[in-house]
Structure 1
């Protein structure tokens, strides 16, 4: 097959050469300078690629064209290399070979800003510079230095940023620019680097070409805005015409018969944005944002992106995936606050995308670029470590914050806003924990960033809405118990019956709870079983079902004193009260009010694999349950009797006093009937 000739030296040209070679289409890439050759370095060793370095006249281009066997010529040169493009077109006159101009989109969103002026040519810009004062930073390359250096009143004020190649530096000296006036550096340049240069050389006016996101245009604009530096922009000289990336690929598909756009998978980059400020981005993440055809994320994160990109304010998979499937772009960036692996939506979206690609709905590859988490950032601001701390999030989720603070000297807490901060203060005051110290980070990484030192009472007075993360320090933290087992005295009881401590602990063991369990405590009484189970893990959801008013009030009080956000009181009588609840994985039945048969039937309908534990005091209840088990599909049935005796003082002696025996019946529902 004939090959494709690419006049390159740009990112677009390099990208095209890579796609062609990976699809078995040979190509030759012509670059004028050493820098252009360096752009192609990442493709070194790619089969089917030839790189030619060196400038050519129109006649030399024509000779080069006739020496090869080319199917088409793609002009992917810089938008300001208009003379080169003209030479390419002249060299092809009468050849009959298709000419495709790959035109970069350089439209600016900043022309309306007060500190930016636009000019049609370098000459017009140079004339306008006569009316300015102070130092001038030229970032327009070395080719047109003479336009500025020939003006005596400008020459001494010029600082020029050029490539660190012999050709560029020689041109500086030829035009009388020497010594400290030359900044020989190779990009890409971040906003921070541009800002540092503006400050270092006390720049009053920045001159740049309108070269688009690939040319670092928007980083210069943002840096100038931060430094209040005037910007003079030389407009793109390229006229109408030319083709977009996709249009060039489509034309090449027609010529080669290869489905280039279909073969090229969409490259999706998950970007951890840290707290939101671009200065916290990793260099790798920044490069992926610059390369992206479009960027998806929450509005807050999109607002901080300075580059001219299509921005889509989606953050849910149900919105993002359909958009990706319809998009014609090939490079997508999806933004996540903080770090992609720390309480992030990245995990769920990744799984959804993985399923979509496996089912053939989307051809894509996902890469993940982490960011700095708010916890790590706040710890650094507070000059403290976080590896030994408990980390809890109530940002869009429930968690037992009070328990974490009680048991840990350090607890980092992710919150949703100022309402959560006030709730934390109220929670600590209600629990009698006024001594807990609170360090809160407000709008971290943004200009309005504050580090606040607060008491629980002061949290109640906070009014500023915004992003908060905090560190709660409890010098009186208790050591966490590794087993369940609260004494009976730990519960508010009143006159409501309660499962006794020893029976309670055996019953909890028999439940065999798992990390993400959903537990029903039917006939909850004081809620002692519900509280014990909810304290085991924030991941357990507990529903305490209780019909009596006095008992329900005690459950609420016991739930509140332990700060159990994962325990929900359900007022009513089972089985009717079970309607609308999520299916249980585990069930404890401490009281059935004579509805045992109906309760078990409803539980089986909700989850035919649930684990059930029943406490019974009377032989009649034991008989009823064992009789029901003969008619239901269950397995691993177990019945045990437990009787506890307690020593009581009688004068100078201690006598054992027996409690009533309790029967603990446990089993699993099964779809398949009993084991044989």
Structure 2
């Protein structure tokens, strides 16, 4: 297949190469510098040649390839390069197209804007203008200004972050903080910030058009009162617009060039926050972004020209994306995008907006290095065989995870969570805690702690923990704590066998919300909350003594997903999230009112009721005749326990209990 040869170095050249490759055409792009090669996005069908060439070398390069056409997409000020291209193709039958940038933007009649034909004319004029000077004309023309020794102390050069550009700065006597090495494009806000930061009184720029960031420079200078000295476009020969070049290439190739105008949005995991931990792909996406979103902590560490917006929630980001006409945007997330990250929620929201036609975009996820994998590497251990728990903005049963696993990695929100571990692991002196503090930052520390040490920590910042328990028991596959595990005092408790059958009848689901009404000691609430930290349990109890006892049992088992609510049902339901399940251990004579309130909360609720007396059984069976229910079931359970009497075992009967279970059959509308 014949290729298209592009001499690039501009946004238009990169854009043309991307368009050709996207339409299945092959092209070779020639760039002068290593940096020019770096910013070219790797694509199927694209070959990049790096290095400057003489006309003779260009002729040799042309003869070595099978080219259908040549496009000169070099910078409008690179007139010598354009002349070399024309010279090298003087006798070639291959058509040459000049992709010319429209630079006609310069406003007329503004007193602070001055135009010059050459750099030498401009440098001479600067001798009469006081104050600091910002050169935004690149590194190749520095000599015209630096050779005027009286200007040198006032010169600040904004150049590309390449070794060649930096070398030219030093060769021309521009050093240290007077070198601003960064890649454009630059927003108006970025230009304004630089003009103010370095107290610039005069900015020198080329008439490089919209794609060269010329309008943003003029607007920033206008708002800061900075004088602008403009070097006029030196091109004499007329070229073609981007659209005209595309039309000519369509005629030559016989293929329609369909442009993908969708916004490119990258959701990027940046690791712990140090830019050194970025992947090369993430670094390239960040450098190419025009809009960059993320937490202030992450944005502060990331260099680059993009407009930085300190937010990461979908409701904050979407208005920006809809308002700003940008082609590339990136959102930064700490750690890895697939590991307890807000990236997943934003990705789903963006896909939904794209599906509705609210925005036209293509979204991709770029993984990062998580704090867990980083800490594991620092310690020289694996993490695939560990339990991973997060209490960073969420609740989890940390104590149970540590109790049942030899290795647990714990993500925390900060110092407050670290201090809380002291109380959570009180009495578990056999466990070992290793904390990674400020991983990847200069102040990084690996801390070896016991529970008492956690409570004494003082340094705020980012923590991640490895908690090792050499005596970890086998993880339970079923519920079933013995009655002796609970603190009881004189408060009634649902006995072990009745409790286990009742929990089975609840048929709890993932992310269930359970009301344990009349919780007593909280034994049912504890059993259910211990099944999964994704189950949220509300233990509702009106008696003060029972409330305190439930709270003590919650703390004993380390259950952060169990909330004790003091109050009488059903009024105590107010303000609680709608339940998916309810267990009624005691109703205080309010059975009818409680069931009616539960139905209003969720007309598809699963309910289990324990009845000890025949009167309670009669009341509930009567109510079931008036309520819309399905899957109705009544079970009587009679338990006998063996007691020793000398050399013999005698059976002692417990009180019989009726377990009534059913599901409301409603319209599916929940009261949130």
TM-score w.r.t. the length of structure 1 is: 0.73
Question: 1:14: how far off?
Answer: 1.9
Partner of 1:244: 211
Report whether the alignment pairs 1:509 with 2:495: no
Cα distance change of structure 1 residues 83 and 636 upon mapping to structure 2, 3 Å threshold = same
- 1:139 counterpart = 2:163: yes
Residue correspondence of structure 1 range 263-662 to structure 2 within 5 A: 263-429=260-426, 432-662=427-657
Relative to structure 1, is the Cα distance of residues 112 and 239 closer, same or farther in structure 2, using a 3 angstrom cutoff? Answer: closer
What is the deviation of 1:99?
Answer: 3.9
Residue range with higher mean Cα deviation, 622-631 or 561-570: 622-631
3-state SS of 1:559 partner:
helix
SS of residue matched to 1:493: coil
Matched, 1:14 2:11: no
Closer/same/farther in 2, CA of residues 5 and 101 from structure 1, 3 Å limit: farther
Q: Deviations over 1:473-513 (max 9, x none)?
A: 22222222211111111111111111110000000011011
Give how far 1:42 is off.
4.8
Q: What whole-Å deviation, never above 9, does each CA across 1:559-588 have from its counterpart, x for those lacking one?
A: 010111100111111111111111111110
Contact 1:389 1:412 (8 Å CA) reproduced? yes
The aligned counterpart of 1:165 is: none
Which residue is equivalent to 2:101?
Answer: 100
Query: Can you list the C-alpha shifts for 1:211-241, whole angstroms capped at 9, x where unaligned?
Result: 74279xxxxxxxxxxxxxxxxxxx9985234
Gaps of 5+ in 1: 47-52, 61-68, 104-110, 132-136, 155-203, 216-234
Aligned partner of 1:670 in structure 2 is: 665
Instruction: Tell me the CA shift for residue 303 of structure 1.
Output: 0.8
Q: CA deviation at 1:404?
A: 1.3
Conserved 8 A contact 1:9-1:30: no
SS of 1:614 mapped into structure 2: strand
Residues 414-442 of structure 1: CA deviation (Å, up to 9, x unaligned)? 1111111111112212xx11232211111
Conservation of the 8 A alpha-carbon contact between 1:79 and 1:238? no
**2:21–2:43 CA contact under 8 A, matched in 1:** no
SS in 1 for 2:101: strand
CA distance in 2, matches of 1:41, 1:559: 55
| Native 8 Å contact 2:389 2:396 kept in 1 | yes
Aligned position for 2:142: 121
Q: Offset at 1:39?
A: 8.3
CA distance in structure 2 between the partners assigned to 1:668 and 1:541 by the alignment: 19
TM-aligned CA deviation for residue 273 of structure 1: 0.6
Distance 1:41 1:602 in 2: 60
Question: For residues 118-155 of structure 1, what are the alpha-carbon distances to aligned partners after superposition, in whole Å with 9 as ceiling and x for unaligned?
Answer: 99614766999x99xxxxx993279989x96xx9xx9x
Tell me the distance in 2 between the aligned counterparts of 1:276 and 1:142.
27
What whole-Å deviation, never above 9, does each CA across 1:587-610 have from its counterpart, x for those lacking one?
A: 100111111111111111111111
Report the CA distance between 1:81 and its aligned residue.
3.1
User: Aligned to 2:501, what secondary structure does the other structure show?
Assistant: helix
Structure 2 runs not aligned, ≥5 long:
47-51, 60-67, 89-95, 105-131, 154-160, 186-201, 216-240, 251-255
List per-residue Cα deviations over 1:368-397 (Å, max 9, x = no partner).
111111011111111222122111111111
Check conservation: 2:603, 2:667, Cα contact below 8 A.
no
Structure 2: how far apart are the matches of 1:672 and 1:14?
57
Offset, 1:328: 1.2
> d(CA) in 2 for partners of 1:423 and 1:283?
38
Cα 1:118–1:447 shift into 2, 3 Å: farther
Q: Deviations over 1:447-474 (max 9, x none)?
A: 1111111121122221111111111122
Aligned residues: 565
Change (3 A) 1:143 1:513: closer
**3-state SS of 2:448 partner:** strand
1:213 is aligned, of 170, 176, 183, to 183
Q: Residues 607 and 632 (structure 1 numbering): CA distance in 2 closer, same or farther, change over 3 Å?
A: same
Contact 2:632 2:660 (C-alpha < 8 Å) held by counterparts: yes
Distance 1:39 1:394, change over 3 A: closer
Check conservation: 1:638, 1:665, Cα contact below 8 A. Answer: yes
**TM-score normalised by the chain length of structure 2:** 0.73
* Structure 2 counterpart SS, 1:666: strand
Aligned to 1:199: none
CA RMSD of aligned residues (A): 4.7
Within 1, Cα distance between the matches of 2:534 and 2:29? 60
